[in-house]
Chain A
């Protein structure tokens, strides 16, 4: 997707925590298929080698089979790992809709261990409505958008 307008309209998720472990240990947890399976999901075909394609099986939705298609984009041992994270289908709304994102892990050694920063970037927000973003206080607002969602579903159904 090369649409500049879309790109400028994307949002990132950032999780940033310090773990009391050495960067080597964390790197192993991020790049060993067997270990990834134990804290994230079992990857299929993962190798910490740039260009490698791999997948995750997640919950399907509508016409989407639930497969997250990834490609390793960058590997700097013990420092940085980035991969493309794509999935979804145009026919879906919300979960299961088209997803074209990048997951980046950055490790920095600190006194107490390693700072692990995850950036999941490239989310296109529906109608730019920030109320969608936060389930904890946003879900009552989601209710207000149900009419629109139901209408969209109905109109897409009548096309088939």
Chain B
């Protein structure tokens, strides 16, 4: 199904309910890509704690990771926030998708 995984709303909210984790997420959002070391710097939290938060964020689909050499780069996943988006954004995407489906179907039934 193309629809957003709205069942994850609770998971996303639970993940972001922690202020430290939310701060980590917001920093990832503000950067194109960022490493654990960079995130730890000036955070006042240990690298281990940052890693744990990143793990939770990854499980909630809010960040993705890209290993390169000895580093792992994290970036935000906009789609992870989809469950928090309102109905209007949801249906904006939904109807455009369905118009594309309709075009394909019409081509099939009326070539």
Contact = CB atoms under 8 A, between A and B. Distances in A.
Partners in one complex: yes
B95 A149 contact: no
B104 to A, nearest CB: 7
Question: A interface, how many residues as a size bin?
Answer: 35 or more
Contacts of A146: 16, 22, 84
Given A120-B91, A123-B87, A150-B13, A143 B109 contact: no
A15 B96 contact: yes
Contacts of A17: 99, 103
A94 B84 CA distance: 5
Interface of A: 11, 13, 15, 17, 19, 21-22, 25-26, 28-29, 35, 38-40, 58-62, 66, 88, 92-97, 99, 101, 116, 118, 120, 123, 125-126, 132-135, 138-140, 142-143, 146-147, 149-150, 153-154
A40 B10 CA distance: 27
A13 B95 contact: yes
Interface in B41-92: 78, 81-92
Given A13-B92, A94-B85, A95-B86, A60 B105 contact: no
Contact of B109 (A35, A59, A138): A35
Interface of B: 1, 3-7, 9-10, 13, 16-17, 22, 25-26, 29, 78, 81-93, 95-96, 98-99, 101-106, 109-110
B84 to A, nearest CB: 5
B83 A94 contact: yes
A13 B4 CA distance: 18
Contacts of B86: 94-95, 97, 123, 125-126, 132-133
Given A95-B9, A150-B22, A142 B105 contact: no
Nearest to B10: A62
B85 A95 contact: yes
Contacts of B87: 88, 94-95, 97, 99, 101, 123
